[in-house]
Amino acid sequence: MYLDAKKSVGENKINLYLDIIHSDETKEKIWSYKCYEEICLLYIEFEEHEKFIIYYNYLRKIAHLIEEKKMRTYVKYTAEAFIRELGKKVNESINHWLEDISKDFNIYQKDKVINAFEANINLNFLLLANKIKKNEINNIKLDINVINYMQDKQKLEELTNKYLIEECDCDPKYLDSKGNTFFYYQPLDSIRGGEKYNVPLGWIGFGLEVLNRYGNNDWLSSDGRNGEWAVAYHGFGCSYSGDKLKNLIKTIVHDNLRPGSGQACSGHKDRRHPGQLCGNGVYITPNINVALGYAGFLPLDKKTYNIVIMVRVNTKYIREPEYQTDYWIVDGNANQLRPYRLLIKENANNFRYY
């Protein structure tokens, strides 16, 4: 049936693929995956962007059913097929991105393969879609800062590393370029540690070395396993500048966060632990926009960037003020809180750093 469908043409071709999907009784739905892949390729060819998104979402849901070893092969082939078709319609100025992206699929962990696949195809699709309304399609947002970053990725990474090492005196052993990333889409099922993961859209991340610091790395996972911690953010340095801010950055990168002098919610009732008060601690938030309100300013190449720390938090220890939205409080101990990525984003108000 599959070969007959591939030989067919036009709308009938899609109907034949859908018939196979509806009749597919395999445990891993491999034939459904292949059919959704072909349907997506057809809609790329037809430039029917809305329909592509619909069937692409079906495709990625099926991908999670396929056994890991097979998934690596399928994802790599599918990514290359999509990129090949998209590349036919991409102007020359971003062709070099496609070459870099095609290397991202030689990854061995199933979740990382699928995440790379989703993110890169989503981004390329957005770049090509000519019907983007307010830079948003189906929960996927495209931020101009991300495009600027991708166009000059290497330069910005070099500037940030230089600032951290030479200006802040951070030891390079505490930095990990494998954690460098840019955030440009919100997956439909974003949960970490049982809490909603609000992706920091438009922010650029620089990894801190954490894989060898805490032993078991389940806290850093993204598949819902036991031991996974939630994602949160900590804005800092909004009233600091110069050496004071640099020293604060070094302390966080080398060690951890510590409770500050402002403890406005210490006497508030704890929503998560009835009968208890929140007490003193480090203030973090699951909402990147809340953290932005406390963010300091990083000067890089005549531009100013807001700076925030991305952390994982052990949900057992979260205290949540009863009358305060999006505020979490924890101790600054490594068994409760672990910084793992530094985030920057170009300051929207054109603030000048002096």
198-209 pLDDT tens trace: 988 878 889 999
Q: What is the pLDDT of residue 194?
A: 92
Ranges of residues in the chain with a pLDDT under 50 are 90-114, 116-117, 125-143, 350-354
- Which amino acid would we find at residue 280? N
Q: Is 246 helix (H, G, I), strand (E, B) or coil?
A: helix
Q: Which two tokens stand for residue 222?
A: 């993204």
Q: Which residue has the tokens 């955030």?
A: 183
Q: What is the pLDDT of residue 330?
A: 92
Q: Which residue has the tokens 């600091």?
A: 240
pLDDT in tens, 46-69: 777 667 778 877 887 787 788 777
DSSP code string of 287-302? -HHHHHTTBEEEEETT
Q: How far apart, in Å, are the Cα atoms of 212 and each of 65, 220, 228, 351?
A: 31, 12, 17, 37
Q: Where are the alpha helices (DSSP H) in 273-352?
A: 288-292
CATH of 144-346, one of 3.90.228, 3.90.470, 3.30.460, 1.20.272: 3.90.228
Helix (H) or strand (E) holding 10: helix 10-23
Q: 195-196 and 191-192 as β-strands: parallel, antiparallel, unpaired?
A: antiparallel
**Residues 122, 140 contacting (CB under 8 angstroms):** yes
Q: What is the pLDDT of residue 94?
A: 39
Domain range annotation of the chain:
2-128, 144-346
pLDDT in tens, 248-283: 899 999 988 888 777 888 889 989 999 999 889 999
Q: What is the pLDDT of residue 8?
A: 86
| Burial class of residue 194 in the structure, from the number of CB atoms within 10 Å of its CB (0-12 exposed, 13-18 middle, 19+ buried) | exposed
